[in-house]
Amino acid sequence: MARVDCQHRMAFTGDLNIPLPFVIYFNLSREEEIETFTIINDEHKGLTKSLVDSHRLALSKSPEQEKPELAISAQLNKDADSPWYGAVNTGGISKSTPGSKRKITLRTFHEANKVLISGPRIKYAEYATKYEAAKNFWQAVATVFADAWTNARKHLITKGVGIAALAELGKWIIEDCVGNGDSSVAAMAEHLKKLDGFDWGNQTSPIKLIGGQKGAKGAAEAFKGVVFGGKSMDELTNLLAQA
């Protein structure tokens, strides 16, 4: 028999003289055990969602088609040429691990990438095209905002509203680049350079008080106003105040 879950609870209740409910599954394959664990714990707030996502990726027979945003996120973490190489916490290592260089959880990252590739031009493209576009966009981000990217712990660029707002903005940048037939890092960086000098600091950034998906979309709209709408960087703070 294999105990799929509740190891810690069992360890602390073994000497109690009370009945405890449990479920036994017969003849499960290894994949079915993982799937059962994943389905149950995806609704459990106390467990890491990134580990659940890793399981879903492992169980998928064709992740590039079924969950391309998750496949892209995992591949970017493994790609030595990716700005996210080894920087994604997939659930197996705690964020508090001393010396950890992981910038983001797999759950947060794949949700951002889902938005990033949701534009109509890229959404229906082949997986390789989706991956290249996503990789090039994040490389452009890492290039244009090099200091904030290198010192991610002191900046909001890979946290919460920062990563979500960039993904929303990136969706429009990718769509524009694909439409123009040039999805290179350089082409995407040209758009982002209009935001060069933006303050991503944890304590000083104008987006530090913005939160949630609504706030992220508002921040992205403000960024979009500068990148595509002819607004100046001097106007950006006021635009963000309305987010």
Residue 161 clears pLDDT 60, i.e. is over it: yes
Q: Which residue has 């006021």 as its token pair?
A: 238
Same domain, 17 and 114: no
Same domain, 38 and 102: no
Q: For residue 23, what pLDDT is reported? A: 78
Residue 168 clears pLDDT 60, i.e. is over it: yes
Residue 18 clears pLDDT 50, i.e. is over it: yes
Handedness of CA 184, 187, 189, 191 (dihedral sign): negative
Task: Judge if pTM exceeds 0.85.
Answer: no
**6-10, 108-112, 115-119, 186-190: which has the minimum mean pLDDT?**
6-10
Same domain, 159 and 72: yes
Q: Report yes or no on 53 lying in a domain.
A: no
> Cβ(175)–Cβ(187) under 8 Å?
no
Same domain, 125 and 15: no
Same domain, 24 and 99: no
Residue 185 clears pLDDT 90, i.e. is over it: yes
Same domain, 112 and 229: yes
Q: For residue 211, what pLDDT is reported? A: 79
pLDDT averaged over every residue in the chain: 85
The whole-angstrom separation of Cα 53 and Cα 67 is 10
Which structural domain range is residue 133 located in? Answer: 68-241
Higher pLDDT: 143 or 24? It is 143
DSSP assignment of the chain equals: ----S-HHHHHHHTT--S--------S--HHHHHHHHHHHHTT-TTS-HHHHHHHHHHH-S-HHHH-HHHHHHHHHHH-TTSTTTT-EE-SSS-TT-TT----EEHHHHHHHHHHHT-SHHHHTS-HHHHHHHHHHHHHHHHHHTHHHHHTGGGBSTTSHHHHHHHHHHHHHHHHHHHHTT--SHHHHHHHHGGGTT---BTTT-TTTT--HHHHHHHHHHHHHHHHTS---HHHHHHHHHT-
Q: Report yes or no on 153 lying in a domain.
A: yes
Among candidates 84, 127, 140, 79, which has minimal Cα distance to 109?
A: 84
Residue 49 clears pLDDT 70, i.e. is over it: no
> Cβ(54)–Cβ(91) under 8 Å?
yes
Q: How many domains does the chain have?
A: 2
CB count within 10 Å of CB 188 equals 25
Residue 96 clears pLDDT 50, i.e. is over it: no
Q: Which residue has 């680049």 as its token pair?
A: 177
Same domain, 197 and 108: yes
Q: For residue 148, what pLDDT is reported? A: 96
Higher pLDDT: 139 or 103? It is 139
Higher pLDDT: 50 or 75? It is 75
**74-78, 101-105, 174-178, 212-216: which has the minimum mean pLDDT?**
101-105
Same domain, 168 and 72: yes
Q: For residue 99, what pLDDT is reported? A: 41
